[in-house]
Amino acid sequence: MSERGRLIVLSGPSGVGKGTVLARYLAGRERIKVSVSATTRAPRAGETDGVHYYYLTREQFEEKISSGGMLEWAQYNNQYYGTPRAPVEEALREGVDVVLEIEVQGGLQVKRAFPDAAMIFILPPSFQVLRQRLVGRGTEDGQSVEKRLRAAVEELRRAQEYDFLLVNDRIEDTVRELEAAVEAAHTITRRQQSLLTEVLQDAQTDSVTD
């Protein structure tokens, strides 16, 4: 049987530069895919249905939740966001790594369901830099920037629950750290699993277990 794909959860406040870091990380890599989320928020200029998100109505989204079609979901900025379950499970089964670029409430649901997921949170160098990046992006009006900053504080409060906190200061450094974090997360888990198998085999030889 081929090895299962690795699940990578990438979180961080809106405006921290997750998308840029991820694009660099993916460049030249094979057997890895980014899950396309579903959301009820309206598409931004330049976004395409099925590429950036699947844009659903609230009714469609709620139907997906109740039929068990979401791997995780959360409400953020009064909108639903969630990861469609089937494509992720299929990719992992086929040995393809899957990246979920999601906010923390959803990330922590994934951690509970997939304890060996690589949980990575990206921090801004400072709160001021985060504000500047959000304003500079120009995709949000002033009110929405403030809302996103408030949500950012909520996210930062829960960042401790992630395994790796990376600071996105110099992009090349952040990408390198992301590579190291993914490898570390999975090496550690793999080692534990093979050690566990070994210990159990020893126990059997030792005839402790009957």
Binding site for ligand 5GP (CB under 6 A): 14, 37, 41, 72, 74, 76, 81-83, 101-103, 106
- Cβ proximity to ligand 5GP: between 178 and 204 the closer is 178
- Answer whether 162's CB lies under 8 Å from 89's CB: no
Residue 82 CB, shortest distance to ligand 5GP, in Å, is 5
Please identify, using beta-carbon distances, which residue of 171 and 200 lies nearer to ligand 5GP.
171
- Min dist CB 32 to ligand 5GP, Å, is 17
Distance between CA atoms of residues 147 and 200, nearest Å = 51
The token pair that represents 194 in the structure block: 């093979």
Complex with ligand 5GP: residue 122 or 181, whichever CB lies closer: 122
Residue nearest to ligand 5GP (CB): 106
Q: Which is nearer to ligand 5GP, 102 or 166 (CB)?
A: 102
* Sheet bearing 164-167, strands edge to edge: 32-34, 97-101, 7-11, 118-123, 164-167
Nearest-approach distance from CB 206 to ligand 5GP, in angstroms: 46
Can you tell me the distance from the alpha carbon of 15 to that of 13, in angstroms, rounded to the nearest whole number? 6
In angstroms, give the least distance from the CB of 57 to ligand 5GP: 16
CA distance 184 to 52: 29
Per DSSP bridges, beta strands 97-101 and 32-34 are parallel
Task: Considering the complex, state which of residue 74 and residue 145 has its C-beta at the smaller distance from ligand 5GP.
Answer: 74
Please state the closest distance from residue 66 (CB atom) to ligand 5GP, in A: 17
153 alpha-carbon distance from chain centroid = 18
Provide the residue count of the chain: 210
- Per-residue tokens: 56: 């659903």
User: What is the token pair recorded at 177?
Assistant: 């750290």
